Amino acid sequence: MINNKIVTIERHILDSQPDSARGDFTNLLYDIALSAKIIAVKTNRAGLTDVLGRAGSSNIQGEQQQKLDVYADDVIFRMNDHTGRLCAMASEEHEHFLEIPEQFQKGSYVLVFDPLDGSSNIDVNVSIGTIFGIYRTVDYQKRGRLEDFMQPGHKLLAAGYVLYGSSTMLVYTTGQGVHGFTLDLEIGEFLLSHENMRFPETPQYYSTNHAYFDRWSKGTKEYVRWLQNNERFQLSERYIGSLVADFHRNLLRGGVFMYPSERNRPNGKLRLLYEAAPLSYIAEQAGGYGSTGKGSILDVTPDDLHQRVPTYIGNRALVSKAEELLARHDQ
C-alpha cells in the first residue's frame, strides 16, 4: 500500500495543472526541479571539492563570481536550452538574455533566474538559493526577444526558489497557492512537505542591514523605528544576508524583508526581474505583498534586464505600513 501522503513535485505539478495546460509548462517546472537536484549535490559538497573559491571572473554586476555560481548557471541553461519549451532565458550571471541555440526548437516560455543568490555566503556555509520565474512569450511569431523579458511581475505564470540549506527545499507557485517540497536525498525526489504555505497572521521578524541606516530616507528610518517599537508585533531582527534564506524564514514565521533605497543606491540592491518580482509573486500567493515602497513590485515593467528596485516584502500589514510611512515622510 503506497502511502498516499508521498507527493512528488512532478505529481503535484500534474495534479495542479488544468487538463487544458500543455505538457510543456509542467515539464518545464520538472526540468527546473531536476536542475535544482543537480545543483544541490554540488552545493552540499561545496566544502569538499575545488568548487569553493572564486571562478576568477566577474559577472554583469561586477561581482566576483564564485565557481558554484558559474556551475549553477551552466546547469540551468543546459537543462533547459534543448527541451523546446523555452524561447529565451535571462540570468543574473549574463549581461544579455540567452538565446536558444539554433539547432534546438524554440518554445513559448521565457525563464528568468538567479542561479545562486547569496553566493558570497558559499565559503562560510550559509544557506544560498536559486530564484526563478516563468513568463509566456509576448509574440509567438517573434519569440525569443528582449521584449519577452520586459514584462511586469503580474504576468508571471510561475515563480519559485530553491533553498540549499540544512535541507534542500523547492518552493513554487503557479498562481494556485504556494507549495514547498523537501529533497529526499535517499530517493532523489522532492516530496511535498509544506502545502499551501501562507505568512502567519502574527509576524515574528524584520530583516534589513542596519549598517546602511544613515543612508536611508526619513520615511525608511521612521519605518524601522516603527518595526522596532511596535506594540502589536514584538518583532525580532533577523538578517542572514542571503535573500532566499531570509525570505523563506519570514514566509514560515511571518515577517518583512527590506532592501530600501539608499542615498547612493536609489533603487537599492535587489534586481527586479529575477529576484524581487518572482519573490513578490510568491509573497502575494501566500497572502503577503511585495512593494517598492510606493506600490506593488508586480506592477513595475522592467526596462532593463538587471534593473534594481527598492524592496519591502512579507506580511501585507508590515509592507503596507512601509508605504504609509514613506508616503508621509518622503514626499
Give the span between the Cα atoms of 330 and 12, in whole angstroms. Answer: 45
Of 118, 144, 278, 314, the one binding ligand P6P (CB under 6 A) is 118
Interface of this chain with ligand P6P, residues 230 to 249, rule: CB under 6 A: 241-243, 246
Minimum CB distance to ligand P6P smaller for 122 or for 326? 122
| Closest separation in Å from C-beta 136 to ligand P6P | 27
Of the listed pieces 20-28, 64-72, 114-122, 180-188, which binds ligand P6P according to CB under 6 A?
114-122
Minimum CB distance to ligand P6P smaller for 118 or for 203? 118
Give the span between the Cα atoms of 12 and 286, in whole angstroms. Answer: 17
- Does 117 contact ligand P6P by CB under 6 A? yes
| Closest separation in Å from C-beta 298 to ligand P6P | 19
Minimum CB distance to ligand P6P smaller for 148 or for 246? 246
Answer for the pair 176, 200: CB distance below 8 angstroms, yes or no. no
Interface of this chain with ligand P6P, residues 242 to 281, rule: CB under 6 A: 242-243, 246, 269
CA distances, 203 to each of 142, 254, 259 (Å): 45, 4, 18
Answer for the pair 254, 200: CB distance below 8 angstroms, yes or no. yes
Minimum CB distance to ligand P6P smaller for 13 or for 163? 163
Answer for the pair 278, 132: CB distance below 8 angstroms, yes or no. yes
Q: How many residues form the binding site for ligand P6P (CB under 6 A)?
A: 9
| Closest separation in Å from C-beta 118 to ligand P6P | 4
**Helical ranges in 242-296 per DSSP H:** 243-253, 277-285
- Does 120 contact ligand P6P by CB under 6 A? yes
- Does 61 contact ligand P6P by CB under 6 A? no
Minimum CB distance to ligand P6P smaller for 157 or for 243? 243
Answer for the pair 167, 180: CB distance below 8 angstroms, yes or no. no
| Closest separation in Å from C-beta 205 to ligand P6P | 14
Core vs surface per residue 234-270: b (16+ CB within 10 A) or e: ebeebbbebbbbbbbbbbbebbbbbbbbbeeeebbbb
C-alpha cell, 54: 572564486
Give the span between the Cα atoms of 120 and 2, in whole angstroms. Answer: 42
Minimum CB distance to ligand P6P smaller for 63 or for 195? 63
Task: From 5, 4, 2, 7, select the one nearest 181 (Cα to Cα).
Answer: 7
Sign, CA torsion 130/131/137/138: negative
Question: Which residue type sits at 27?
Answer: N
| Closest separation in Å from C-beta 243 to ligand P6P | 3
- Does 58 contact ligand P6P by CB under 6 A? no
Answer for the pair 178, 198: CB distance below 8 angstroms, yes or no. yes
Site string for ligand P6P, 206-235 (x = CB under 6 A): ---x--------------------------
- Does 107 contact ligand P6P by CB under 6 A? no
| Closest separation in Å from C-beta 119 to ligand P6P | 7
Give the span between the Cα atoms of 162 and 312, in whole angstroms. Answer: 20
- Does 26 contact ligand P6P by CB under 6 A? no
Question: Which residue type sits at 214?
Answer: D
Q: Which residues bind ligand P6P (CB under 6 A)?
A: 117-118, 120, 209, 241-243, 246, 269
